[in-house]
Amino acid sequence: MTMKLYGAILSPYVRKTRMVLALKGLDYESVMVDPNNKPEGYEKISPLGRIPALEVDGRFLADSAVICAYLERIQPEPALYPDDAYEYARALWFEKFADYEMGPQCTFMVFRNRVVKRLIGQACNEQECQQALDTTIPPLLDYLEKELDGKEYLVGDRLTIADIAVASQLVNFAHGGERPDAARHPNLAAHTDRIHGLEPFKQTIEKESGFLKKVLG
């Protein structure tokens, strides 16, 4: 089986997929795709033109959640989705929460303004960032803080796609100069440190931080 992962190094959705690949010990080739300048014909690989996309022996899958679910089926160990039906659904909920609630705020608001715009020579709209940090982001983090009360993981007693998806968005949040406040969100701060300390995350964060330091100074 030959796999190619199409995407950009700093995308939280690509990173989530890469973490699943790494944790499962699956070999793949990385194909860089600039989301702002996608190659001609990319829609044949990803119908909506989004990243990531996965090629498996000439066949294609799009969307990080779809790809991660596929990887779980072809390589069940280590299991990153719960066995229990209810907990399985809860893990999918947290993945959706990370992708569709945290992503627009932590990544597309804070990270995009403070990092991506600098990379492409545009001005940061700091007022827009602060509004998100003051109004829309705190309730999201408050919710996760409550869900992590007395727990090491979001679902069950082991690492799942829920933890990976949330932690991946918080990498971009950190690249944008923010992180969960240990005073207001001690459970989430500890969870973030725990997941980001896992070897695949640790190596990736170091690589990304080095890249940003090199290009942004």
pLDDT at 54: 99
> Is residue 55 situated within a structural domain?
yes
Which tokens in the block code for residue 44? 């044949």
Instruction: Indicate if 94 and 199 belong to the same structural domain.
Output: yes
Instruction: Indicate if 67 and 160 belong to the same structural domain.
Output: no
Instruction: Indicate if 66 and 96 belong to the same structural domain.
Output: no
The string of pLDDT tens digits covering residues 148-186 is: 999 999 999 999 999 999 999 999 999 999 999 999 999
**8 Å CB contact between 26 and 65:** no
Instruction: Indicate if 120 and 32 belong to the same structural domain.
Output: no
The string of pLDDT tens digits covering residues 66-122 is: 999 999 999 999 999 999 999 999 999 999 999 999 999 999 999 999 999 999 999
Instruction: Indicate if 130 and 198 belong to the same structural domain.
Output: yes
Going by pLDDT thresholds of 50, 70 and 90, the confidence category of residue 130 is very high
Give the separation between CA 165 and CA 171, rounded to whole angstroms. Answer: 10
pLDDT at 217: 80
Instruction: Indicate if 111 and 69 belong to the same structural domain.
Output: no
pTM equals 0.97
C-alpha distances in Å from residue 65, one per residue of 61, 114, 123, 173: 10, 26, 32, 20
